[in-house]
Amino acid sequence: MSRKRWEAETYHSKDFDWDKLREEVEKNPKFQFHFLPFSKVVTQLEEAQRDSEAWDRFHARHSTGKFFKERRYLLKEFPELASCEDNSKVLEVGCGNGSTALPILCGREGIILYACDCSYEALERTKEIITASTSISAIHRFHPFLCDFSTTGFPSWLASNTCSESSFNGHCLGSLEAYEAYAGANSDEAKSCIGGVDFVTLIFTLSALPLDRMPKAIKECFDILKPGGMLLFRDYGICDMTMLRFDPQQRIGWNTILFLLLGYC
């Protein structure tokens, strides 16, 4: 399958002046509540568990269709993916229903892609979509595993240095079992450290995390990169219409978008 099939015909990245938009929003009284401090009412562990369960319900509810469209602009936005060497390893963090993984796998056939999500249902949907892509090559280059990287970190077998458990206190070592369940218990790669990854893609994932978990999440992503590796990031921003269209009573915190999407409000 040709790369052109999986690339967007047009790509829009600078359709407005950010500084001008920010100034307009900050001066508008009806948007001021978005910038007020927010107090938590649950612990981090409870919050993470709640998010995971909510994502499970969300993906189960949308199991028959693609709620998130394929992001075919990615190879234009990040040309490094299109021009990387064969067998380059990519970690897609928060893979959802595969809207990022599928265009990368089919648009660049030399890439090996690992994908994690905190939701088992999301991983199942992604696996189904990749399997149905008609690309046998994509299926064999796709390795999903269950992990909430913002709370437990990434599993030790993924890290760039040697897989010594003493070096990974607090990491989600249990994710190795989840990985083996998907990739096959006899896989050599599932039993040893893969030596880190060349790229980490963090596409519309960071905004789904509470503000206090973002620094740890970003550090985790950098820690599993090989020397010279790249973190490829794209997300919503403060003042985006996705944020501004919600009312004050719908505000949950900095991840208002996540909570509205999953049906908390």
For 23-34, the pLDDT digits (tens) are 776 777 766 655
pTM: 0.68
Distance in Å from the first CA to the final CA of the chain: 42
Q: Which pLDDT score, from 0 to 100, does residue 54 have?
A: 62
Tokens linked to 135? 């690309």
Which long-range CB contacts under 8 A does 126-133 form with residues at least 24 apart? Answer: 126/95, 126/96, 126/97, 126/98, 126/101, 127/182, 129/66, 129/97, 129/98, 129/102, 130/98, 130/101, 130/102, 130/105, 133/102, 133/105, 133/106
Residue ranges per domain, the chain? 63-234
Q: Which pLDDT score, from 0 to 100, does residue 230 have?
A: 96
Q: Which pLDDT score, from 0 to 100, does residue 134 have?
A: 65
CATH number of this structure's domain 63-234 = 3.40.50.150
Q: Which pLDDT score, from 0 to 100, does residue 225 have?
A: 94
Positions of the chain with pLDDT under 70: 1-18, 21-22, 25, 30-71, 134, 160-192, 237-265
209 exposed, middle or buried (CB, 10 Å; 0-12, 13-18, 19+)?
buried
Q: Which pLDDT score, from 0 to 100, does residue 63 have?
A: 56
Beta strands in the chain (DSSP E): 89-93, 112-117, 142-146, 197-203, 225-234
Q: Which pLDDT score, from 0 to 100, does residue 205 have?
A: 87
Q: Are 206 and 258 in contact (CB under 8 A)?
A: no
Cα separation values, 47 from 50, 238, 252, 264, Å: 5, 22, 12, 12
